[in-house]
Amino acid sequence: MLFVEPRFFLFFGIVLTTYWSLRSNEQRKWLLLFASYFFYGCWDWRFAIMLAILSAADYFFALRLTQTENQKFRKIYVVASVAMNLSVLAFFKYFHFFVSSAVALATAMKFHLSEPTIKIILPVGVSFFTFQSLSYTIDVYRREIPPASSLREYLTFAAFFPQLVAGPIVRPSYFLPQLAEKRHISLQEVKQMLYLFLLGYIKKSCIADNISPYVDKVFLHPANYSSIASITAVWLYATQIFCDFSGYSDMAIAVAGLMGYKLVLNFDAPYLAVSIQDFWRRWHISLSSWIRDYIYISLGGSRGRTRWYTYRNLLLTMLAGGLWHGPAWTFVAWGGMHGAAQVAQAEFKRALPPKPSQEPWRKLFSWFITLQFVCLTWIFFRAPNFASGWIVFRHYLFLSPSGSSTLPIWLILLPPTLLLGQLLMRRIDLQHHLCAATLPRFAAAYGAIWAIAISLLPLGYRPFIYFQF
């Protein structure tokens, strides 16, 4: 059930109406629990059962962590929780990747092995809800939060349908206190959430889905296209993945917000970043902060004896982040490139201290270089394999007139136009002006924008890109 489908509007309309008609917070939480499992079960009822079992187990482990002071047993419980969640993630998402990699290695060493034919269905959002569950048991183990007040409370946190399948990843310390309180919402907040949902809808359905076919064509047969077409396709993919994923995040925040719950900001104009570190402070913020707090810091963070220990931890963290995105070496390479770039930038800053007098030009140059690097690395994130990615990579760096196929001219202008549009929206604060209007004017403008958005919809519905992760 996608946020952009009519059946979701029907589902959410029923849930929202029922939610605000209930006066008791206890009744509202029961409604959220049943609605969340119904929502997830619409993909496959077996997914919902698996989620319930994992959540109940994590709730039990967290209880045991608070009921004993024996550090040995506390470590056993938290290790059991981590092992359980990572095992589920590894089996469903990485089984074929690990097996095929082992078979390829054995073949290279002159051993002949065949890959087992096991069909595994990837549960939607498994990477997101396993990380969210891990943060709960680890935080309880670290004594940073108390356990959830009840099993129902934790099941609702783990399955909260607005952000269940593609984030933002919510920390228990941020969301569990919200469940404990009866939620309220003002008319101004309703308008803001309606605006945010429409913005996300336009990003996903009107922009990302319309340019997706052109991107697919180039990456499927990159040798057929010239450098201009390849460069355009890379820019378009950078636009597509941002609009697709940030569009989902906007809609998730809006859906939760219309019920009075707050989710964390997940994107903050990432293509305006002036360094790779800055990019990761702006892109998929809930994931980047998660891997920082639970992987990077657990590895030692910047507490090593020398800066090279810090760089090692940074590289390992980014490699893990790349692998999290997908079971392919192209994703690992993507993460490794971002890690290596952060190390290189750190060393560059050590060698060349900042010069305040040149700051505006340096900032503009840093922005341009950062954006080009991010676009280059998106090639391997999107490419089905290294061979296709390398062709697009060469075309991007070295102009090649080869290739008879072309793309429409208007596509070349779309990415910079959207970037300028984002700058303009941030400058004039469109959301503030629209939501500050009187209710009749807001309704008229809102309806007009919806009408335009619907007229721009492509045929059919495309899944959100991050659903595969």
d(CA 168, CA 115): 35
Residues 6+ apart with CB under 8 A from 132: 158, 169, 170
284 is catalytic: no
Q: What is the DSSP string of 174-239?
A: HHHHHHHS-----HHHHHHHHHHHHHHHIIIIIIIHHHHHHHHHHHHSGGGB-HHHHHHHHHHHHH
Residues 6+ apart with CB under 8 A from 321: 287, 288, 291, 295, 335, 338
Q: Which of 322, 335, 337 is nearest to 94 (CA)?
A: 322
| Alpha-carbon distance values, 42 to 250, 339, 346, 353 (Å) | 22, 38, 47, 55
Beta carbons of 168 and 43 less than 8 angstroms apart: no
Residues 6+ apart with CB under 8 A from 419: 271
Residues 6+ apart with CB under 8 A from 221: 405
Q: Which of 365, 380, 387 is nearest to 238 (CA)?
A: 380
Beta carbons of 203 and 243 less than 8 angstroms apart: yes
d(CA 437, CA 291): 41
Which run of H or E residues covers position 461?
none
Q: Which of 284, 325, 338, 395 is catalytic?
A: 325
Q: Which of 169, 205, 219 is nearest to 381 (CA)?
A: 219
**How many whole angstroms from its chain centre is CA 19?**
27
- Kindly state the DSSP code that residue 315 receives in the 8-state scheme: H
d(CA 261, CA 165): 17
Amino acid at 88: V
Beta carbons of 232 and 411 less than 8 angstroms apart: yes
Q: Which residues are catalytic?
A: 325
